[in-house]
Amino acid sequence: MAVGVSAQKELRFSVGNSFIDERFPGGEMYSVLLGSFGRSKQLTKKDTRISLRMHEDLQFGLGSTHTRGNRDFDLAFNIVIEGVWQVTKPIALTFSIGSGPAYQSTSTALQAKGFVYSNNFTAGLRLNLSNSIVLMPQVRFRHMSNAGWKAPNNGIDNFFVLIACAKKL
């Protein structure tokens, strides 16, 4: 039964905040306001219940360390593969995994500042509001580390709640 309603290409925007923050030694916590912008392309046939999408995602994070009051930022570019299961015509479940290079301005006891990798695991819904607009509430786990290039390298982990919107092209 063909119920897929995904467009071949989309522009996406998302914004969210970390709700579980990385706790550093000494009790510091690192929280992040995260935004992203990107484009998406369907990789499989349009009218199927299960499909794959690929998107390029430019992320910008504004971080703060609660005890020091530091204002930090990170910038990342991820290539993301997303699985979509079209449950009904207006509703789909999604799961995605993405990774790419990033820069992080904060230096902590767990992670050196500078070049890092941003690894993201996201689950969510696709709610087709119209023929061209999609609303996507999501939960994301993000791990940022430098893969051992520089010490320290324990990485920084955050869990996010995001709201994304896509415009079908």
Both tokens of 111, joined, read 């992670």
Q: How high is the pLDDT of residue 4? A: 47
Determine the average pLDDT of the residues in 12-38.
Answer: 85
Q: Which residues pair with 157 in a beta bridge?
A: 143
Domain ranges of the chain: 9-168
Place of tokens 């301005």: 105
- Chain centroid to Cα 6, Å, comes to 20
Q: What amino acid occupies position 7? A: A
Both tokens of 126, joined, read 């696709």
- Specify whether the CB–CB gap between 117 and 33 falls below 8 A: no
Nearest by Cα to 76 from 34, 40, 124: 34
Q: With respect to CATH, is domain 9-168 assigned 3.40.50.10950?
A: no
**pTM here?**
0.88
**CA dist list (Å): 93 to 4, 15, 45, 77:** 12, 19, 17, 24
Calculate the average pLDDT of the chain.
88
Weakest mean pLDDT among 26-35, 62-71, 84-93, 155-164: 62-71
Asked whether residue 169 carries a pLDDT value surpassing 60, the answer given is yes
